[in-house]
Structure 1
Amino acid sequence: MPNEACCVVMTTFSDEKVGEKLIHSLLNQKLAACVQVQSIDSYYHWKGKIQSDKEKLVIIKTTADLYQAVETDILANHDYETPEIVCLPIHSGYHAYLDWIRTETQPR
């Protein structure tokens, strides 16, 4: 198994159908080993105004090598004009869990 760096990619959605499509696309293509979703309240500047929305935060466990494909897939399935897509490196973690991420994101 390659010793690829693992990472967490985060995005948000407000439309449940968009979220389901996005999540299943990532998992079906093996771009993510795990996707977690949490309800959040978002407050932000948008087009000169302060906005607030009920959203879902999506936490995607993947490898750094797959980041570009994950970003492309999110953009293809998202309905926001400018969706949040950020990648956070995992510098360390439980080796068995990180190995599981690497295994689950490998093509079969």
Structure 2
Amino acid sequence: MLHSNPEVRIVLTTAGSCDEAARIGRTLVEEHLAGCATSLPGVESIYHWHGEIETGTETLLLLKTEIDRLEALHTRLLALHSYETPEFLVLSVEAASQGYREWLKASLAAV
């Protein structure tokens, strides 16, 4: 059964390599700032940077967390990331299954 859940968030960020995305994702999960990190390699990004249009192949990282972890997750991501200005976009989740919500909450709990 699906339930509205204003606490669940998905954070989007990109990394310059699969290795960097894996390192960031693993660290954030180990530190209970994200319950899950899903890596999608091979995304093509086109963006403005220092007055030029750049193109690059990156790895998209989807981080599943709760609203009360966002500030700490953001601070830690900035410390771990090689980019000068890493992407940090937070998406609200309209609904989630009860089982997933319970799993996420347990995953974020410090052991």
TM value normalised by structure 1: 0.90
Distance 1:47 1:4 in 2: 36
Instruction: Find the counterpart in structure 2 of residue 103 from structure 1.
Output: 106
CA distance in 1, matches of 2:69, 2:44: 29
Q: Is 1:67 aligned to 2:70, yes or no?
A: yes
Are 1:31 and 2:33 counterparts? yes
Is 1:4–1:102's contact at 8 Å kept on the other side of the alignment? Answer: no
Alpha-carbon distance, 1:15 to partner: 3.1
Question: Counterpart amino acid of 2:46?
Answer: Y
- Matched with 1:89 is 92
RMSD of aligned Cα (Å): 1.5
Matched to 1:35, the amino acid is A
In 2, Cα distance between equivalents of 1:99 and 1:76? 29
Displacement of 1:4: 7.3
- Name the one with the larger strand percent: 2
- Distance in 2, matches of 1:14 and 1:94, equals 32
Q: Which runs of 4+ in 1 moved over 3 A?
A: none
Map of 1:44 onto structure 2: 47
Q: Give the fraction of aligned pairs with identical amino acids, expressed as a percent.
A: 30
**How many correspondences in the alignment?**
106
**Which ranges of structure 1 fall in alignment gaps of 5 or more residues?**
none
Give the gaps of 5 or more residues in structure 2.
none
SS at match of 1:54: strand
Aligned match of 1:9: 11
Which of 23, 26, 34 does residue 21 from structure 1 map onto?
23
Distance in 1 between the 2:69 and 2:12 partners?
14
- The question of whether the paired residues in 2 share the 8 Å contact of 1:6 and 1:102 is answered with no
State TM-score, norm by structure 2: 0.88
Per the TM alignment, residue 65 of structure 1 is displaced from its structure 2 partner at its CA by 0.3
